[in-house]
Amino acid sequence: MRYEPLNLGRWVIWGAMALVFLVAPLVFSGGFALTMLIQMGTMIIFALSYNMLLGQGGMLSFGHAVYSGLGAFLSVHALNLIGKGAFTFPVTLLPLVGGLAGLAFGVLFGYVTTRRAGTTFALISLGIGEMVFACVLMFPGFFGGEAGVSTNRVVGQPFLGITYGPAIQVYYLVATWCFLSIVAMFALTQTPLGRMANAVRDNPERAEFVGYDTQKVRFLQLVLSSFFAGVAGALSCINFEIVSAENVSPIRSGGVLIATYIGGVPFFLGPILGAIIFIFFVVALSGFTKAWLLYLGLFFVTMVVYAPGGIASILLMQIPVIRARRLGELALPYALAAGAALVALAGLIGIVEMVYRLSEQGASTVLNVFGLSFDAQTTPPWIGFALVLAAGLVALRYASRLVGARWGAIQQDLLARRA
């Protein structure tokens, strides 16, 4: 045993996280906010479980929704059986059922997918995802066909007044499972398996020479990851009270990949941020515009090209600058860049919305923005928005050069001081 002093910083971080989970529904107390918080909690587990593959194991999966979706299907049937009185089981522990189901399918499919790594793994996971999706539609008896399987989460005797009828009780259920899963998945990164997964990701050949079976490491990592995906699936089943083929669809698999990548694959924190942003896009933005998927896709591609470390890397890069108390120097360039980006975005949104109005049959081509009213069938708004977009892009180019110059100067100073 090694002597370890009490790590105060770690306790503060985990304590703060638990506190955020506790008070979040008190701060954002509206019904819509609560719906979003519940979905965010579920998505955080799902995205973190996905990052066990992509971030920690170097496995780019295009079929992760298989494990969460099948976990959700088995939980929905378990919940229905509990409702019929076939057996007694607390709803609180239902995510365990989903998790074990996910794990079982992880063992089954993981045996095939983890035989290869890299690009081939990505393609096989895609194939498995498509296969399961097609199978779900093929057996309507168990999976409910297009309509899905619906359920009622208020079953059994209330325990200490908890029935899971009101949404706030569901929130605390999701929050508890989310917190426990985050702790468990973080703990897993510290285990020998977690470390070996990193080694297999970085240099599989060398890991083989050290005496590890890379296939086995990938397999174990995938099986554990599918457990947590199943937990997320069961929580979404409890929340929505319906599970359909959409839960295992390739769209879900793509969604979790986008969420995780936007947040930041190289950092444990990344998928948590990514899940929050993703749910914001899916739930909030989709209410405003039907082109939200296009915006999400553009955001994702921009991140891939300019910030492969995701939002988390952008935030964490600021820490040394803040420590050196030099953030003030960057405030003006950052503000300029943000302003230019907003201008470009406004131009882009204008063009996209006009295209959409023109293509959709029966939609009014007149748009109202900030009291301005214009018709998409006339040319002036097109020229106007194109000019705004071009001006924004040019300004962004100059602003990012300014940011780059200041950033480089500060980094050099920091390096010189260290030397």
Partner 1 sequence: MEFFLVQTLNGISYGLLLFMLSSGLTLVFSLMGVLNFAHASFYMLGAYFAYQISTKIGFWPALVVAPVLVGAIGMLIERWGLRQVHKHGHVAELLFTFGLAYLIEEAVHLVWGRSAVDYRVPPDLDGPLFTIFTSQYPIYRGFMMLVSVAMLVSVWLALTRTRIGLVIQAALTHPQTVEALGHNVPRVFMLVFGGGTALAGLAGVIGGNAFVTEPGMAASVGPIIFVIVVVGGMGSLAGAFIASLLIGCMQTFAVALDWNLVGGIKMSQLAPVLPYLLMVLLLIFRPTGLMGTREG
Among 14, 186, 356, 382, binds partner 1 (CB under 8 A): 356
202: its two tokens: 């970085």
The values of phi and psi at residue 316, to 5°, are -70, -25
Cβ pair 392, 340 in contact under 8 A: yes
Among 40, 126, 223, 224, binds partner 1 (CB under 8 A): 126
Cβ pair 270, 311 in contact under 8 A: yes
Q: Shortest CA distance to 294 belongs to which of 344, 247, 355, 236?
A: 355
Among 37, 38, 48, 60, binds partner 1 (CB under 8 A): 60
Binding mask 208-237 for partner 1 (x = CB under 8 A): ------------------------------
Choose the binding region for partner 1 from 126-134, 153-161, 164-172, 274-282 (rule: CB under 8 A): 126-134
Nearer to partner 1, 285 or 294 (CB): 294
Cβ pair 300, 258 in contact under 8 A: yes
- Residue numbers 127-166 binding partner 1 by CB under 8 A: 127-128, 130-131, 134-135, 138
* Residue positions counted in the chain: 419
Tokens 């079982």 correspond to what residue?
Answer: 104
191 part of the interface to partner 1, by CB under 8 A? no
How far CA 350 is from CA of 104, 299, 357, 374, 383, in Å, comes to: 48, 16, 11, 11, 11
Nearer to partner 1, 134 or 369 (CB): 134
Q: Shortest CA distance to 43 belongs to which of 275, 215, 255?
A: 275
Minimum distance of partner 1 from residue 412's CB (angstroms): 22
Choose the binding region for partner 1 from 37-45, 256-264, 339-347, 379-387 (rule: CB under 8 A): 256-264
363 part of the interface to partner 1, by CB under 8 A? no
352 part of the interface to partner 1, by CB under 8 A? yes
Distance CA 129, CA 255 (A): 13
317 part of the interface to partner 1, by CB under 8 A? no
257 part of the interface to partner 1, by CB under 8 A? yes
How far CA 57 is from CA of 103, 170, 252, 312, 341, in Å, comes to: 17, 32, 21, 19, 35
Minimum distance of partner 1 from residue 169's CB (angstroms): 36
Which spans of this chain sit near partner 1 (rule: CB under 8 A)? 58, 60, 62, 112, 115-124, 126-128, 130-131, 134-135, 138, 250, 254, 257-258, 261, 291, 293-294, 296-298, 300-301, 304-305, 308, 352, 355-356, 359-361
